[in-house]
Amino acid sequence: MAHPLGNPPSKIIAVHLNYPSRAKERGRVPAQPSYFLKPPSSLAGTKEAIVRPAGCELLGFEGEIALVIGSRAQRVAPEDGWSYVRWVTAANDAGVYDLRYADRGSNLRSKGADGFTPLGPRLLDAREVEPAGLRLSTWVNGELVQDDTTDTLLFPFGQLVADLSRLVTLEPGDVILTGTPAGASVVRPGDLVEVEVTCGELSTGRLRNPIADGDPLAPYGAMPRNDEAERESAYGSAYLPEPLLDPLLADGLRSVAVATLSAQLRARGLPHMSVDGIRPVGSDGGTMVGVAHTLRYLPLREDLFKRYGTGMNAQKRAIEEVRPGHVLVMDARRDATAGTLGDILALRALKRGAAGVVTDGAVRDAAAIADLGLPVYAAGAHPSVLGRRHVPWDTGVPIACGGALVQPGDLIVGDSDGVIVVPPDLVEELLVDCREQERQERFITERVAAGESVEGLYPLGPAWQDAYQNWCKGETQ
C-alpha cells in the first residue's frame, strides 16, 4: 500500500530529541531542537516491509508523530506555526545503527534507506486536533512498548515549524518527524511494528510494518559494524548487557587488599602495576573493582583545542561510553595543575553505572565529587577547567596512568592504599595466592600481638609451618 501523501514531499525533516522521556533515556536535554534530513525515497505505507540489510544487527524502530505542511512557511512566528500544518499522521523513523558511524549526524545511510519512513495509514485534519493533546503508541508483536503524549514536549509543534522556517522554506507536503518517546529499541526479521496516533476519538489507525531480511550490501562503500556503545544506543532502556566482569571474580577482588594484589603481582615479575601519585577524593575512596575504560589527554595546543576540546569531545564521549562496571581511567601525564573531571561529569559517570574513576591529573569540585558516593582517585584538586593544560584526545586506547600501562579491559582495583592494575588472564590464580597470603598474615598478626618476635615469623618461615597448619585447621572448623 502506498503512503497516504500521494505526491512525494520536497523534504522530510526529523527531530533528534523532543520527548522528555527519551531525553532522560539519552542522558541529555537539548537547549534547542536539532534536525536531520531523510530522503523522500525513504517513504513507505502501511503493511510494507522494513527491510534490514544482511549483515546488519541493529535495526531500530521509532514511533513518531508526523506533521504534513499545508501551506508555504517562511519565517513564521511560533504562535503561528501550527496553522501551517495541514495533516497529522503516524510514522516509524526506522534506521540501522550498524551504519551510523559512516554518516554520524547526517544519518543518511543509517536512516535514509528505501522504506525506512513508513507513514499512515490515515491523515488526521490538523484543524480538528489539539497539538498538545495527541497520544503516540507503538506496539512490537502486539506488546505496547511506547506510550506518550504531546503535552510535555521539549519543543512544541508550532515552535518546530517556526524554527525551521527561519532558514528553510517549508513547502506544502513537506513532512516533519517530531521525535520519539522512550521505549524505541531493536527489532528483527519476523517482527511486526505498529504505530498509532490518537486525539480523543480520532485515530490514524495502526501503521503496520513487518520486518524482513534483505540482501547483503555491495562492498564498495561503508559496511555494517557495531560495538557495545551502538548496541546500547539502539536498544535504549531495553539494553541489558552482559556483566563486564564475572560477579564471582568481582567479589573475589573485593575480598583482598590492593597491597596483597601488589605483592602477588611483584612475585610474578610485574612490579609496575600500581597507579602512583593518586589518592581517594574525600576521606575514603571505598573499595573499587571494575573494568578499565580509558581516556587520554594530550598537552594543550591552542590551535587544536577548538577542534578537539569543545562540543562532544573525547572527555564527554568517554563518559557516555561508560557501561555498568567500568572504571574510567584517565591519562593526564601526571599533571595535576588542571582539572580533568568535575562534579557534573562525575555524576553522569555514576548514573551510567561507573564503578569508579581514576586520573593521574586533578579534579575540580572535589567536595561535591566526594559526596557522590562514587570511588574517585586523583592526584589532587584544582579549580581549572579544560583549556589550561590538557586537551581530551581519544578514548578506548592503551594509556599511561600514574606510571602504569592500562589497556581497555584490564581490571582496576582500588582501596584506601591506592589503585592497582590487574591483567584479566591472571586474576583467578592471583585470588588463590592472595587469599593464602592474607591467611598467613592473619596468623602472623595474632602471634605478633601475643608478643612473638618477627624473626622467622614474618615472612612465615619453616620453624612456624607446623603451628600455622594447626592454626589453619582451627580456622576452618
pLDDT, mean of residues 87-99: 95
Given this model, what pLDDT does residue 226 score?
85
Give the rounded percent of residues in the chain with a pLDDT score beyond 70.
Answer: 97
The reply to whether 279 falls in a domain is yes
The secondary structure of the chain, three-state, reads CCCCCCCCCCCEEEECCCCHHHHHHHCCCCCCCCEEEECHHHEECCCCCEEEEECCCCEECCEEEEEEECCCECCCCHHHHHHHEEEEEEEECCEEHHHHHHHCCCCHHHHCCCCCEEEEEEEEEHHHCCHHHCEEEEEECCEEEEEEEHHHCCCCHHHHHHHHHCCCCECCCCEEECCCCCCCCEECCCCEEEEEEEECCEECCCEEEEEEEEEECCCCCCCCCCCHHHHHHHHHHHCCCCCCCCHHHHHHHHCCCHHHHHHHHHHCCCCCCEECCCEECCCCCCCEEEEEEEEEEEECCHHHHHHHHCCCCHHHHHHHHCCCCEEEEEECCCCCCCECCCHHHHHHHHHCCCCEEEECCEECCHHHHHCCCCCEEECEECCCCCCCCEEEEEECCCEEECCEEECCCCEEEEECCEEEEECHHHHHHHHHHHHHHHHHHHHHHHHHHCCCCCCCCCCCCHHHHHHHHHHHHHHHC
- Shared domain check, 437 and 416: no
The reply to whether 432 falls in a domain is yes
Given this model, what pLDDT does residue 4 score?
80
- Shared domain check, 185 and 37: yes
Given this model, what pLDDT does residue 179 score?
96
- State yes or no: pLDDT of 379 exceeds 70: yes
200 vs 28, higher pLDDT? 200
pLDDT, mean of residues 221-225: 90
Given this model, what pLDDT does residue 229 score?
76
- State yes or no: pLDDT of 268 exceeds 90: yes
- State yes or no: pLDDT of 477 exceeds 60: no
pLDDT, mean of residues 309-336: 91
- Shared domain check, 188 and 58: yes
**What's the pLDDT band for 414 if we cut at 50, 70, 90?**
very high
Q: How many residues does the chain have?
A: 477
pLDDT, mean of residues 254-280: 95
Highest mean pLDDT among 21-25, 320-324, 464-468: 464-468
**What's the pLDDT band for 237 if we cut at 50, 70, 90?**
low
The reply to whether 65 falls in a domain is yes
147 vs 226, higher pLDDT? 147
Q: For position 347, which CATH number holds? A: 3.50.30.40
Q: For position 206, which CATH number holds? A: 3.90.850.10
**What's the pLDDT band for 53 if we cut at 50, 70, 90?**
very high
CA distance linking residue 77 with residue 216, whole number of Å: 47
- Shared domain check, 136 and 31: yes
- Closest Cα to residue 136, out of 24, 127, 144, 43? 144
- Shared domain check, 129 and 92: yes
Boundary-marking domain end, from 209, 238, 267:
238
- Shared domain check, 231 and 133: yes
- State yes or no: pLDDT of 50 exceeds 70: yes
Q: Which domain covers residue 471, as residue numbers?
A: 428-476
- Shared domain check, 276 and 132: no
- State yes or no: pLDDT of 392 exceeds 90: yes
Boundary-marking domain end, from 377, 399, 422:
422
User: Is residue 459 reached through a cis peptide bond, with omega within 30 degrees of 0 on the bond before it?
Assistant: yes
The reply to whether 6 falls in a domain is no
Q: How many domains does the chain have?
A: 3
- Shared domain check, 388 and 461: no
427-441 pLDDT, tens per residue?
999 999 999 999 999
The reply to whether 386 falls in a domain is yes
295-321 pLDDT, tens per residue?
999 999 999 998 888 888 999 989 988
pLDDT, mean of residues 118-144: 95
**What's the pLDDT band for 106 if we cut at 50, 70, 90?**
confident
**What's the pLDDT band for 420 if we cut at 50, 70, 90?**
very high
Least confident of 36-50, 275-289, 341-355: 275-289
- Shared domain check, 200 and 255: no
- Shared domain check, 359 and 393: yes
**What's the pLDDT band for 285 if we cut at 50, 70, 90?**
low
141-157 pLDDT, tens per residue?
999 999 999 999 999 99
The reply to whether 4 falls in a domain is no
- Shared domain check, 364 and 464: no
The reply to whether 201 falls in a domain is yes
pLDDT, mean of residues 40-54: 94
- State yes or no: pLDDT of 240 exceeds 70: no
Average pLDDT, the chain: 92
Least confident of 128-132, 321-325, 378-382, 445-449: 321-325
Boundary-marking domain end, from 238, 264, 290:
238
- Shared domain check, 391 and 262: yes
Least confident of 175-189, 219-233, 238-252, 454-468: 238-252
The reply to whether 64 falls in a domain is yes
